[in-house]
Amino acid sequence: MTTLFIYPGACSLAAHVVIEELDLPIEVEQVSLTPDSPYRQLNPQGRVPALRLDDLTLLTENTALLPYLADLRPGTPLFAPAGSVERAQIQGWLGYLATEVHTGAFRSINRPERFTPDEQAYAGIRSKGLERLAEALKPIEARLSGQDWLVGNRFTIADAHLGVFVGWSARAGTLLQAFPALQAFLGRYRAREAVARTLAAEGLA
Ligand SMILES: N[C@@H](CCC(=O)N[C@@H](CS)C(=O)NCC(=O)O)C(=O)O
């Protein structure tokens, strides 16, 4: 059976949401992300999400997994046909979220130890990460001012991915107060039945 490996509330939430949205017959398994976790035997990077296919091939990276999952339901409104402009736009947002928002901002906020051995420097790295996050959210706020979802006025895999980072941003102090369109987006995201089911399944309801 195909299995998605997740950690509650991590960026694997996006793939879990897509599985729920599309009612895909995929098992979801929670793993530990500690350095000594047995999960590292399956995935030496020790990161989630990862999708283990029936033939034991392991797929990683949200930018690959989310399109792969959507393509299991050809024609789904969560994605767009090969060669279409909308498909490129959706993939553009997936890339932006993975690089500018996740790695470019949240990694400094959540994992300052990856940038310096000096614990005294953590607060400065976190604070720079918050600045970078605010910058990275601006184009998304602009995009969502006047439309509900990122592409094509319908919920797509780009929105499934975005929901993770807006949720994290809501916990980053008062930052989201400056982003009313993103706050409204988070309300719409959490109001989706599939998202609510996913959050409940991850123990986050
Ligand atoms: N670029 C990867 C990032 C995956 C990633 O960093 N996942 C985090 C959870 S949000 C993780 O597993 N962290 C554990 C670690 O880095 O040790 C993707 O988008 O799939």
Residue 168 belongs to domain with CATH number: 1.20.1050.10
d(CA 99, CA 202): 25
Q: How far is the CA of 79 from the centre of ligand 1 (A)?
A: 23
Within this chain, do residues 105 and 152 fall inside the same structural domain, yes or no? Answer: yes
Query: Looking at the 3D structure of the chain, how many domains does it have?
Result: 2
Ligand 1 centroid to Cα of residue 43, in Å, is: 12
CB 15 within 8 A of CB 66: yes
Measure 146 CA to ligand 1 centroid, in angstroms.
Answer: 31
Each residue's pLDDT expressed in tens, for the chain with a length of 205 residues:
999 999 999 999 999 999 999 999 999 999 999 999 999 999 999 999 999 999 999 999 999 999 999 999 999 999 999 999 999 999 999 999 999 999 999 999 999 999 999 999 999 999 999 999 999 999 999 999 999 999 999 999 999 999 999 999 999 889 999 999 999 999 999 999 999 999 999 999 8
Within this chain, do residues 70 and 89 fall inside the same structural domain, yes or no? no
Q: Are residues 70 and 115 in the same domain?
A: no
- Are 49 and 112 in a shared domain? no
Within the chain, residue ranges assigned H as helices are 13-22, 39-42, 62-71, 85-96, 107-110, 122-144, 157-170, 180-191, 193-201
Do 67 and 105 fall within a single domain? no
State the closest ligand 1 atom to the C-alpha of 48, by its place in the atom list counted from 1: 12
181 and 128, same structural domain?
yes
pLDDT of residue 205: 84
Distance 48 CA to ligand 1 centre (A): 5
Same domain (yes/no): 16, 64: yes
User: What strands, in cross-sheet order, belong to the sheet with 27-30?
Assistant: 27-30, 3-6, 50-52, 58-60
Domain of 43?
A: 3-76+197-201
Rounded to two decimals, what is the model's pTM?
0.97
- Taking Cα atoms as reference points, which of 6, 13, 17 lies closest to residue 168? 13
CATH, residue 52:
3.40.30.10
Ligand 1 — pocket residues by CB below 6 A? 10-11, 33, 46-49, 61-62, 98, 102
